[in-house]
Amino acid sequence: MSAVQLQRLVVRMLHDPQLVAAVYESPETALADEEVTATERTWILAQDRRRFTADPLRPRRVLKGLLDEYKGSAALLVGATRRVASLDRFFASTAFHAAIRQRRALAPAFGDYLATEGAALDPRIAAVARLEQAFSRARRGRAPSTARLAPVAADAVVMTAPHLGPVRVPGGTLAVLQAVEQVLFEISLTPVAALAEDGPTLAAVPALAGDDELYLAVGDGKGAVTLEPCAPLLLESLLVAVEPVDAGRLAWNRPDDWVSRLVNDRLVVVAAR
C-alpha cells in the first residue's frame, strides 16, 4: 500500500531535516526510490516545508528513549566526537530510515548506527554498542513456554528465543561499559559537573584487551536483564539463529538432537514460516 509508505516517509521527514531539504530542493532525486505515487509526491510538496521542522525536539524525544539503552556506547561516541550532533545524525542514517521503512524497532537500528559511527573513532564504541544491543534484545522478548516439545523437524524454521541476547565482544568490553557507567553515575549526582573542565571524564575508561568475551543476556520478561557467560558452541548456534534459520542449518556439525535440545531448553523457538 503506497499510503503506508507515504506515512512512513512523513515520519522520516519529521525526524530528518536533511531529508526535508532534499525533498523540497531536489524532489525527483530525493524521492526516486520512494514507494509513493506521483499524486502522493505532490501532496508532500504542497505542504509548507516548515511544518516538518516545527517541532525540532521531536528527534531528541526519540533519542532519550534510545539513550536509556545505549548509555555506554553513546557516551563513548560523544566523548570521541565532542558533538551531540553525532547522536542527532542517527536520524539521517541508513539504519534509521531502513527501520522506519520496514516497520522495525529503532533500538537495534541505533545499536547498528553507533557501531558503524564508532568504528573509525574508537573500537570500544562498537564493542559496547554490540553488548548493549544484546541487552536490548533480551529486554524486549518473552521466554517461550515451559512445555516439553517433540523433536524438531529438519525443515522447521527456528530462531533464538526472544528473551535472549547472545553476543561475542572483544576482551575487556564489559569492563569498559562498567567504567563508562560509573562516570555517567558520577555526572548524574551533579549534572552541572558535565560542563566543568574538572568534572568526570572518560579518561580512565580502560582499553579493550584480552580474549573475546562470550555472553548471553537473559531477559525476565519484565524489563530486567542478567548477563551470563556462554559456552562457545552454544553461543555460535544462538548467534546463527538470531534471525530465523532452517533447523537443518543449525544442526549441521552438531550432535543429532542438538536443535531439539535447544528448543526443549527454551533457548531456541520454532518460528512461523
Partner 1 sequence: MSFLTRVKKLPRLGLGVSTEYGVGGAGVLDPLELRRLHPTYGGFLEVGVEAAKGLDANARAWLTRRWPTTYHFLDINLDEPEEFDPHWLGEVRALVHELRPAWLCGDAGLWHLGPRDRGHMLLLPPILTHESIGPMAAGIARLREETGREVLPENPPGPLFLGDLHLLDFFGRLAEAADTGLLLDCAHLAIYQQQQGHDPLTALDGLPLDRVVELHVAGAMVRNHEGLEIVEDDHTPEPLPATWEIYEHVAARAPNLKAVVFECEKNSLEPCLPGFARIAAGWRRA
* Residue found under cell 505515487: 37
38-57: contacts with partner 1 (CB under 8 A)? 39-40, 43-44, 47-48, 50-55
- Give the position of cell 539521517: 92
49/168 with CB nearer partner 1: 49
Cβ nearer to partner 1, comparing 124 with 139: 139
End-to-end CA distance of the chain: give it in Å, rounded: 22
For residue 170, what is the DSSP state? -
User: Which residue, 75 or 99, is less far from partner 1 as judged by CB?
Assistant: 99
Region binding partner 1 by CB under 8 A among candidate stretches 26-34, 70-78, 100-108, 162-170:
100-108
Cα 266 to Cα 182: distance, rounded to the nearest angstrom: 34
146 binding partner 1? (CB under 8 A): no
Three-state DSSP at 183 gives: helix
Name the segment binding partner 1 (CB under 8 A); options: 59-67, 116-124, 152-160, 264-272: 59-67
* Sequence-separated (6 or more) residues with CB below 8 Å from residue 192: none
Strand order in the sheet with 245-246: 245-246, 157-160, 268-270
C-alpha cell at 168: 561475542
Number of residues interacting with partner 1: please give it, by CB under 8 A: 37
CA distances from 123 to 25, 183, 258 (A): 37, 19, 35
Give the integer Cα–Cα distance in Å for 242 and 250.
11
C-alpha cell at 202: 572518560
User: Nearest distance from residue 139's CB to partner 1, in Å?
Assistant: 9
Query: Of the listed pieces 7-15, 127-135, 173-181, 226-234, which binds partner 1 according to CB under 8 A?
Result: 7-15
**Residue among 11 and 207 whose Cβ is closer to partner 1:** 11
Interacting positions 229-258 with partner 1 (CB under 8 A) = none
* Whole-angstrom distance, CA of residue 75 vs CA of residue 236: 29
Query: Should residue 208 be labelled a site residue for partner 1 when binding is judged by CB under 8 A?
Result: no
Out of 20, 31, 66, 75, the only residue in the binding site for partner 1 (CB under 8 A) is 66
Per CB under 8 A, the list member of 26, 29, 64, 185 interacting with partner 1 is: 64
Q: Taking contact as CB under 8 A, which single stretch among the options 9-17, 77-85, 185-193, 231-239 is the one that binds partner 1?
A: 9-17
Count of CB atoms situated within 10 Å of the CB of 151:
14
Residues that bind partner 1 in the complex, under the rule CB under 8 A:
1-3, 6-8, 10-11, 14, 39-40, 43-44, 47-48, 50-55, 58, 61-62, 64-66, 68, 99-100, 103-107, 140, 142
